[in-house]
């Protein structure tokens, strides 16, 4: 099966401390995969390494069979919404249009066609009515959906989402799940940094358990076991895994 992401022997270090250590990962096309692990496990770093945002100390990464630079336009990134200043003076649709900057290239401005695409993306996340709203007026869940729309407008083959469910309302959570399922049915691969262990088995096909080193990865039913979770989170964990 074709691989959407291939990571070999990836090590990322920050001031001599390994953040990721010797991680191997294969993600098949069309998979919904959760990346799970405690704080400081290197989940965000893994996503950033795949995107070329952090330099690995060692290892290779191939995305859609090629180096990231060559396929960047087919990869959509949804960063943590806390990573930007939401008091920035601009509107919702303007943020979504940013997803098309790579395709537009230099100097060209977004035109009617791009605006229509942005509106379609906003429609998918249920934010059409907010298109011309100032972004500082959005709730956390709405901010998250705007970021999602910005990635969706790219029509990517691979999506990397950093904690999209973090602190969002029920409406947003449902909207995101709907989008994840639509993406999967169209053969798109999605990697999601996820915190809520209760929902892993109901939302995702596969899971990567990460704590600096890879603990396990594969189909949720095989990998998401008490033993592996204890290995990931250390002995302290006392979670009741949902069977929903």
Enumerate binding residues for another protein (CB under 8 A): 48, 51-53, 69, 72-73, 75, 77, 79, 83-85, 88-91, 95, 98, 101-102, 104, 106-107, 109-110, 134, 136, 150
Q: Are 127 and 92 in contact (CB under 8 A)?
A: yes
Nearer Cβ to another protein (54/179): 54
Query: Going by C-beta distance under 8 Å and a sequence separation of 6 or more, which residues neighbour residue 87?
Result: 136
User: How far does the chain reach from its first CA to its final CA, in angstroms?
Assistant: 29
Q: Are 190 and 32 in contact (CB under 8 A)?
A: yes
Nearer Cβ to another protein (51/128): 51
Nearer Cβ to another protein (84/239): 84
Least gap, CB of 238 to another protein (angstroms)? 32
How many angstroms separate the CA atoms of 218 and 80, rounded?
25
Least gap, CB of 72 to another protein (angstroms)? 4
Strand, helix or coil for residue 4: strand
Nearer Cβ to another protein (116/196): 116
How many angstroms separate the CA atoms of 74 and 156, rounded?
4
Least gap, CB of 161 to another protein (angstroms)? 12
Least gap, CB of 51 to another protein (angstroms)? 5
């Amino acid at each position: 099966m074709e691989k959407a992401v291939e990571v070999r022997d990836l090590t990322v270090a920050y001031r001599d401390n390994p953040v990721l250590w010797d991680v191997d990962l294969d993600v098949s096309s069309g998979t919904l995969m959760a990346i799970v692990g405690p704080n400081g496990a290197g989940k965000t770093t893994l996503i950033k390494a795949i995107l070329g945002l952090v330099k690995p100390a060692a290892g290779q990464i191939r995305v859609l069979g090629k180096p990231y630079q060559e396929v960047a336009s087919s990869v959509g990134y949804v960063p943590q919404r806390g990573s930007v200043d939401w008091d920035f003076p601009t509107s919702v649709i303007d943020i979504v249009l940013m997803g098309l900057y790579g395709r537009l290239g230099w100097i060209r401005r977004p035109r009617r066609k791009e605006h229509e695409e942005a509106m379609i993306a906003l429609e998918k996340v249920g934010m059409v009515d907010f298109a011309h709203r100032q972004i500082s007026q959005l709730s956390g869940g709405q901010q998250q959906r705007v970021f999602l729309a910005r990635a969706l407008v790219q029509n990517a083959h691979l999506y990397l989402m950093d904690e999209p469910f973090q602190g969002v309302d029920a409406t947003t959570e449902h909207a995101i799940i709907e989008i994840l399922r639509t993406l999967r049915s169209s053969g798109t691969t999605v990697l999601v940094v996820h915190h809520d262990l209760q929902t892993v088995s109901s939302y995702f096909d596969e899971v990567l358990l990460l704590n600096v080193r890879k603990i396990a990865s594969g189909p949720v039913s095989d990998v998401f076991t008490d033993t592996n979770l204890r290995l990931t989170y250390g002995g302290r964990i006392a979670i009741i895994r949902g069977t929903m």
